Chains A and B, each alone.
Chain A
Amino acid sequence: MTTDGTAILELDRVSKRFGGLQAVNNLSFTMKPGEILGLIGPNGAGKSTLFNLINGVFAPNTGKIVFNGIDITGERPFVVARHGLARTHQIVQPLTNMTVLENCTVGACFGRENLPLYRARDIAREAVQLTGLDDRSDTLALHLTIAGKKRLELARSLAAQPKLLLLDEVLAGLNPTEVEHMIGVIRKIRDSGVTILIIEHLMQAIMSLSDRIVVLNYGQKLAEGLPAEVARDAAVIEAYLGDPKLAAELEGQA
């Protein structure tokens, strides 16, 4: 794969092994600025590991990760964050004894802009508002409901004013109304110019949100393409969607 200079994220033959388990195997893909790329695959396919490799929680065994023209392979998470890459966690990681606003202020202070405290608070307030948490901005994070904590994950990563946002199952565990609200928020974020890589199990949601889809299975790329193409792919149907009827339904939707 070659760098054409327009990609915001480039993975080049990235692999990660845990003992005998090949969690991510020789994976390559690129992301264009402004797109939403959906990452799907069965449980254990290596999706979250991939996020951890991109944002520096783990270093890959082999391969290269280039973000916005900078080689970030094996960089520590706080270095990657400073370059403008933010993420949310599948298992929420709130700073429990801090308020919603304080959580977001941490994101704004130490994110891409490296803002001083007084300016970070304003950015944090905007993020709190955008995610619909404004009525709870002085609530301690530990008192939030699970939906609230999911929103906080999103608000905090937004406050960092990232160029690229990694969303790890932000819709899981939310009720249909909350899902709808969250999808609206994600669209708004994209419209503000942020590129988004999203892991999601809710098929309808990810098919309608994503510009393109990458399907992982056993740490390898099984398919890549437009949502409709992926839903039609025989290998994907067999490995993941399982049900040809669901596949047909999704194809129609996308």
Chain B
Amino acid sequence: MLRRPFFWIIALVIAAFVVLPSIGNNVELRESLVLACVYITLASNLNLMLGYAGYINFGSIVFFGLGGYICVWLVYAHDWPLAWSLLVAGAGVSALALIFGLGILRLRGAFFALSTIGIVEGVQAFAENFTPWGGSSGIYISPQVFQPLGGPGRALWVIYFALVATMGASLYLSYAIKTSKFGLGLLAIGQNEDAAAILGVPTPRYKALAYSASAFLPAIAGGLYFFKGAFIQPSDAFDLTLSTEAIVICMLGGQGTVTGVALGAYLYEELRGYLLTSSTFANFQLTIAGVLLLVIVLFFPSGLMGFIYSRFPAAKRVLE
């Protein structure tokens, strides 16, 4: 893997995320890159299901929100250190996904997609009614929790670097799976599940593993994101919009590709930032995302990477 150029391309991206905002303590750039990290993490992990195994998961936000809740709650109610809270959030959500996955992955197509929306609604209802998690008003944590990380100012940098690491891990995970036997099995499932099973791919186990793997890093990103905000409530944690945006990103970049999805996430985040701050478009951000999705599906079904590959076929040998 170390001899492949793509490994170093990912390393270069991570380095850029670390170095660029550090120059001159550029907090504004850092905050914009926080969101880029979150989008890249969510979209890359969604891509394992959507792009590789061909299953549309509308509920990827559940991993993010639930990870956030578990982490914030462990810090708030049990005084756990952040690192342990994050690991437990990741492992817990991943284990839950495995159990749910073995059940709902018996469904296919639209039925699976619907069941993932059901999971979002169900988990949100649970959070709204679970008293230890503060019900619908959520959990506030005092800024005191930033003390172990060296006070609020330094803590924000620590959290940012942790998010960059999560994003980097997401990219390497996508890459490692894509070039593995497991990934080949998932891609076969995505192309034709019945044929894959007949060729010997253990489809139920592979799908459940992919679903579970796609939960781990988003849960950690959720933990970091909501810890950073020192506040979590159900309507933010389980916002279906973010799930939908992750799907748009995968389609925009080119589902099934590592580069395309990361690039799509970054561009989408930039566009979103521009629309939200522009006086003309501020209220139309989602409308534009919707139109974008329509245009992509109709005219560029293989996304950004499809376009790049058709223009520069040599790129196929370097990029994944």
Binding site for B on A (CB under 8 A): 55, 57, 76-78, 81-82, 86-87, 89, 93-98, 102, 105-107, 109-111, 114, 116-117, 120, 156, 160
Q: In the complex where A95-B191, A97-B191, A106-B188 touch, is A160 in contact with B181 (Cβ < 8 A)? A: no
The 5 sampled A-B contact pairs (Cβ below 8 Å) are: A93-B194, A93-B198, A102-B184, A117-B180, A117-B181
- What is the CA–CA distance of A41 and B181 in the complex, to the nearest angstrom? 40
Q: Report chain B residues within 8 Å CB of A78.
A: 197-203
Return B234 CB to nearest CB of chain A, in Å.
39
Return A178 CB to nearest CB of chain B, in Å.
22
Q: In the complex where A117-B181, A117-B184 touch, is A95 in contact with B196 (Cβ < 8 A)? A: yes
Beyond A81-B199, A106-B188, A107-B199, list 12 extra A-B contacts (CB 8 Å): A78-B202, A78-B203, A89-B198, A93-B194, A94-B192, A95-B187, A95-B192, A97-B191, A102-B184, A110-B185, A111-B199, A111-B200
Binding site for A on B (CB under 8 A): 180-181, 184-185, 187-188, 191-192, 194-203
B195: contacting residue among A93, A102, A109, A116, CB under 8 A: A93
- What is the CA–CA distance of A178 and B187 in the complex, to the nearest angstrom? 31
Q: In the complex where A107-B199, A110-B200 touch, is A93 in contact with B181 (Cβ < 8 A)? A: no
Q: In the complex where A93-B194, A95-B191 touch, is A116 in contact with B181 (Cβ < 8 A)? A: yes
Task: Please determine whether A93 and B192 come into contact, CB atoms closer than 8 angstroms.
Answer: yes
A106: contacting residue among B180, B199, B202, B203, CB under 8 A: B199
- What is the CA–CA distance of A110 and B187 in the complex, to the nearest angstrom? 13
**Residue of A at shortest CB range from B198?**
A77
Task: Please determine whether B191 and A96 come into contact, CB atoms closer than 8 angstroms.
Answer: yes
Return B313 CB to nearest CB of chain A, in Å.
12
A98: contacting residue among B187, B197, B200, B202, CB under 8 A: B187
- What is the CA–CA distance of A117 and B187 in the complex, to the nearest angstrom? 14
Q: Report chain A residues within 8 Å CB of B191.
A: 95-98
Q: Which of A94, A95, A102 has the most CB of B within 10 A?
A: A95
